[in-house]
Chains A and B, each alone.
Chain A
Amino acid sequence: MYPWIWRHLPGPLPVRILEAVVLVAGVVALLMFVVFPWAEPKLPFNNVTTPQ
């Protein structure tokens, strides 16, 4: 998977490194701001209330 992505990045080595960093940052941002906030309420480990 990773070697395949690396082979398909265009440009010379420094450009490829930059592209890889941007890709990783994009995935991290997607996880942090979209996936985790969506998934978190579905996980049961931070319920702090009792029923009224």
Chain B
Amino acid sequence: MDPPTEVIAPVDDYDDEYEDYDDEYYEDDDYYDDEDEQPAPPPDSTARKTVRTIGELLITAGLVILLFVVYEVYVTDLISAGKQDDATQALDDQWSSNTVATDPQREVKYDLLDGQAFAKMYIPVFGPDYKFSVVEGTTDKDLEIGPGHYKGTALPGEPGNFSVAGHRVGKGAPFNDLDLLNSCDAIVVETQTQWFVYRVLPMAGEAAGWAEKQANPKCAKVSPLGAPYDKTVGQEIVLPTQGEVISQVPHFTGEVPAAQQAALMTLTTCHPRFSDRQRLIVHAVLTMSYPKAPDFVPEEMKES
């Protein structure tokens, strides 16, 4: 019977100690209250001021960088949307006032002025609201307005390589989702007189089983291009220095007569997103063209 008694006794002791501790705690609290009422003036030394100012500057720098992200991702979109609207308006005015289109005997002539739109592009799989006016030139100023045509590369519908660069982040980000394009997806280009339907070429691994893919009506007129186009695939990621992706025959250094050149379209943008370490390239081939007519819209525009 003795051991239980011994066990109970220490517990009583502990309670007493706890009460004692409580008292002490309240005494401490009173002590701190007194100090709050009469705070000692903080020593406003030079060191203290310096540290405080550095802290404030660092917080400010962080806020400025956050603000820059907001600017880059949202505000440039707004600015570019205004410029894109202006360019589209100017193009519509030009198309409706210029009557060259009505005379089939006359050859189409593009008025290529830097920073001015000369064509519109649509990617129907990105939705019916995906449309951009393509401007001439690829300087920063041109690309702020919209996708820009590399000067000197082919024009829409021509044999060669109609090459267009566009932003992926901010500034309207026309090529934001370029990595989501699959083979055979349509890229429709509208000029003053014609509609051109380009379709993304087979991807690198798809050439082998292409016969099956061609059962898809979208792919009927798309097939891997033979030599000298053997390295030209639907999508590739290259180094920023690899300008050969927009040459007349991509990745091919020799001369190919214009008659033997395919009519390609190449889109370039930065990769990975928010970086310029690489370039994302999409190659497409001309599969169809229609003359423009009032109220006529190519059926490819309804694809999704």
Contact = CB atoms under 8 A, between A and B. Distances in A.
B56 A48 contact: no
A28 to B, nearest CB: 7
Contacts of A36: 68, 71-72, 75
A37 B276 CA distance: 18
B150 interface: yes
A31 B276 contact: no
Contacts of A44: 276
B64 A47 contact: no
A46 B280 CA distance: 12
Contacts of A47: 240, 270, 276
Contact of B238 (A32, A49, A50): A50
A1 B52 CA distance: 8
B2 to A, nearest CB: 70
Contact of B166 (A28, A45, A48): A48
B245 interface: yes
Contacts of B263: none
Main secondary structure of the interface of A (DSSP, over half): helix
A50 B245 contact: yes
Nearest to A47: B276
B270 A46 contact: yes
Interface in B183-206: none
B135 to A, nearest CB: 13
B229 to A, nearest CB: 18
B214 interface: no
Contact of B279 (A31, A41, A48): A48
A51 B152 CA distance: 12
Interface string B240-251: 111101100000
Interface in A1-52: 1-2, 28, 31-32, 36, 39-41, 44-52
B57 interface: yes
23 contacts: A1-B57, A28-B67, A32-B67, A36-B72, A45-B270, A45-B274, A46-B169, A46-B170, A46-B270, A46-B276, A47-B240, A48-B165, A48-B175, A48-B268, A48-B270, A48-B276, A49-B268, A50-B240, A50-B243, A50-B246, A50-B268, A51-B243, A52-B153
